[in-house]
Amino acid sequence: MQKSKWVILVTVLALTGVIVGLFYLARHQPRRTMTTGADAGLESQAPNPAIESSATRVARPLPESHDATSASDSHTIPALPATAPNDVIFGAILVAFEGAQGAPAKARSKPLALELAKRLVPIALANFDEAAKQGDQGSTANAGSIRRGILEPSVEYALFTLEKGTVYPEPIETPRGYWIMRRIR
Q: Which of 99, 169, 102, 112 is nearest to 137 (CA)?
A: 102
| Segments making up each domain of the chain, as ranges | 1-30, 34-183
Tens digit of each residue's pLDDT (9 = 90 or more) over 134-153: 999 999 999 999 999 999 99
Tens digit of each residue's pLDDT (9 = 90 or more) over 73-99: 445 889 999 999 999 999 999 999 999
Q: Which of 121, 120, 130 is nearest to 168 (CA)?
A: 121
Per-residue confidence at 114, pLDDT binned at 50, 70, 90?
A: very high
Q: Which residue has the higher pLDDT, 56 or 127?
A: 127
Residue 59 dihedral angles phi and psi, to the nearest 5°: -80, 160
Specify whether the CB–CB gap between 118 and 135 falls below 8 A: no
CATH code, residues 34-183:
3.10.50.40
Among 3-17, 91-105, 134-148, 164-178, name the one with the lowest average pLDDT. 3-17
Helices (H) and strands (E) in the chain, counts: 5, 4
Q: Where are the beta strands (DSSP E) in the chain?
A: 87-95, 140-147, 172-174, 177-183
Q: What is the pTM of this model?
A: 0.61
Q: What is the pLDDT of residue 21?
A: 58
3-class SS of residue 87: strand
Q: What is the pLDDT of residue 108?
A: 97
